[in-house]
Amino acid sequence: MAMEQDLQQRSEGRCELCASGDDVRIHEVPPQDQRHADNCIMACAKCLAQLGKREELDRRHWSCLTTAMWSEAPGVQVVSWRMLNRLREDSWASEALEMMYLDEASMAWARATGDHENDSSVTLHRDCNGQALQSGDSVVLIKSLDVKGSTLNARMGTVVKNIRLVDDDTTHIEGRIEGQVIVILTKFVRKQG
């Protein structure tokens, strides 16, 4: 509880990246040995979604890093450095990276995940029409599907409610049809509503 109070006090209840006060939560900056205030940050839902590559990068939103990168909190510095690297094709981000300094330990921590080597592209779960899918969405099957290892036949037009995204594969989702949880290819579904 003391760590949470330290983070609240340090951040003044705001996102330490963009200064938003909406839906701010603790984010543990990976990788970590022990959880403490120096390796955690307070971040808003929008920043967290884009950090976790669950949402397309909003380049204008991240201009806040030109301020956040000067934070004294090591976790904020590391996240700022990683995001600036993901945005390095933008001149402002490239210039900010040239000005930014991380001590040896913080630089090793920043490089540890390899996230800085990625570009700003985000691979999202998308339906047959290219609509982004989120956990909890409802989808409609656009093709009748035989379920492997079962006698179940999921018919075209079947509505699958409350889907779950498969974390490590953007071409798969999970859904419940006739009480059975199955894995469905995203190319065979259309987002409903």
Q: Which two tokens stand for residue 15?
A: 């996102």
Q: What is the pLDDT of residue 149?
A: 79
| Virtual torsion, Cα 51, 57, 110, 112, nearest 10 deg | 70
Q: What is the pLDDT of residue 123?
A: 73
Q: What is the pLDDT of residue 184?
A: 93
Are 144 and 110 contained in the same domain?
Answer: no
Are 44 and 92 contained in the same domain?
Answer: yes
Spatial strand order of the sheet with 139-141 comes to: 159-160, 139-141, 189-191
Are 111 and 144 contained in the same domain?
Answer: no
Sorted by sequence, the CB contacts under 8 Å of residue 143 that are 6+ apart come out as 156, 188
Q: What is the pLDDT of residue 1?
A: 66
Are 108 and 143 contained in the same domain?
Answer: no
Q: Is 138 left (phi over 0), alpha (psi -120 to 50) or beta?
A: beta
CATH number at residue 176: 2.30.30.40
The answer to the question of residue 123 being in a domain is: no
Q: Which two tokens stand for residue 146?
A: 């035989």
Q: Check: CB of residue 70 under 8 Å from CB of residue 39.
A: no
Q: What is the pLDDT of residue 80?
A: 96
Q: What is the pLDDT of residue 118?
A: 63
Are 64 and 159 contained in the same domain?
Answer: no
Are 159 and 87 contained in the same domain?
Answer: no
Are 24 and 111 contained in the same domain?
Answer: yes
The answer to the question of residue 151 being in a domain is: yes
Could you give the C-alpha distances from 116 to 38, 74, 79, 83, 192, in angstroms and in order? 20, 16, 10, 7, 35
Residues of the chain with pLDDT under 70: 1, 115-122
Q: Which two tokens stand for residue 187?
A: 């190319």
Q: What is the pLDDT of residue 166?
A: 87
**Number of folded domains in the chain?**
2
Q: What is the pLDDT of residue 2?
A: 86
User: Global pTM?
Assistant: 0.70
Q: Check: CB of residue 126 under 8 Å from CB of residue 63.
A: no
